[in-house]
Amino acid sequence: MASILRYCVAMPKKQCKTGTGSLDLAYITPNLIVCSMPTSDVIKGWYRIWLKDLLEFLHQKHNSAWHIWNFQAEPTGYGDHEVFGKVDHFPFPDHNPPPFEMLPQIVCSIESHLIQNKNNVAILHCKAGKGRSGTVACAYLIMKFKMTFDQATQVFTNSRMRSAFGEGVSINSQRRYLRYTHDYVHVLNQQYKPIDVEIDAIKIYGHLYEDIDLKIAKYTKGGCVISDLYQFSQNDVVDRTSAVLVFKPQRLIVLPADICVMTQRTKVVGGKLPIIHSSAYMWFNVFFETYGSIEGFDFCQINGRIEVPWKEMDGYKGTSKRGSELFEKIEVYWHVTKGSLQLN
């Protein structure tokens, strides 16, 4: 029964055959492995990889030349001592990209292990071994092998996913951060410095409802937690027409490097029960969106803007399940703070 449950949970992803069965695990390169969360918990073991099975596989295939990278911000399925301390933690929340600054740090950590010995292998996991692990795996392919965004995401999809089950990295915000990684490597020669900006306005075009909840959030605790930065209210609406809603915060809002814009509409059923009618979010990095454009990067820019259509927002758990359409597109405007560091 447990093997059937594990197979059903892992079904969209390719399995690695072992002598006694299969593991929810895939080789992206001969030295880079992605898997779902291993666990020593009796209950979770019914539908996740048993830690003892993973360790047995690694010892048989790679002796002691392995090391694990864990990206779970939520509780994990094992203790560090159960893998002999051979694990590094770079936690960030499920269904979201990591803070951009974290990606080069992770890749550097992985590469420092792999270059020590040609037989060394790196095992990357989150919970499902897809979105977060896939984002890091693709970033590694881009930074290490100078792959393009398209090449890296295709290699990961071909290696990790069964045919007809979609992209390996499918969440729009995670894919946006991989495009940033492409520019970081292929355009900027791996130059990046976080900047702070002040928000000017958020414009919602083609809105179908007046009562849209809007807020912006940021990472705290090193990327482990998403915390509200500002909740807009109707008092922040400075222009309201049939075509556009314009929000301007009533106080100065300084945005850090990575920002999440969240939209939602709640309706009351039966006069008492509030239910979520629609919900969507998107992450972006102000450095890349301020200085980057189709024509290239211009570090003299002091104003920034991002435009995202409703259909490219992330929905429930990063899927396309956003509920009924709330608007046609959303635009965010900001300017670089005077004291913020810029590249010249």
Q: What are phi and psi of 259, to 5 degrees?
A: -130, 140
Taken in order 60, 63, 69, 74, is the CA torsion positive or negative? positive
Mean pLDDT for the chain overall: 92
pLDDT beyond 60 at 290: yes
The pLDDT value given to residue 10: 46
Lowest mean pLDDT among 7-21, 30-44, 319-333: 7-21
In 3D space, the residue among 303, 276, 105 whose CA is nearest the CA of residue 198 turns out to be 303
126 is catalytic: yes
Domains, the chain, ordered by start: 1-187 (3.90.190.10), 197-342 (2.60.40.1110)
Question: Crossing angle, helix 131-145 and helix 149-160, to 10 degrees?
Answer: 130
Catalytic residue, candidates 8, 35, 108, 126: 126
The pLDDT value given to residue 1: 41
Per-residue pLDDT reduced to its tens digit, 127-169: 999 999 999 999 999 999 999 999 999 999 999 998 878 999 9
pLDDT beyond 70 at 3: no
Per-residue pLDDT reduced to its tens digit, 101-118: 999 999 999 999 999 999
- Provide the whole-model pTM: 0.93
Per-residue pLDDT reduced to its tens digit, 229-266: 999 999 999 999 999 999 999 999 999 999 999 999 99
Per-residue pLDDT reduced to its tens digit, 81-94: 999 999 999 999 99
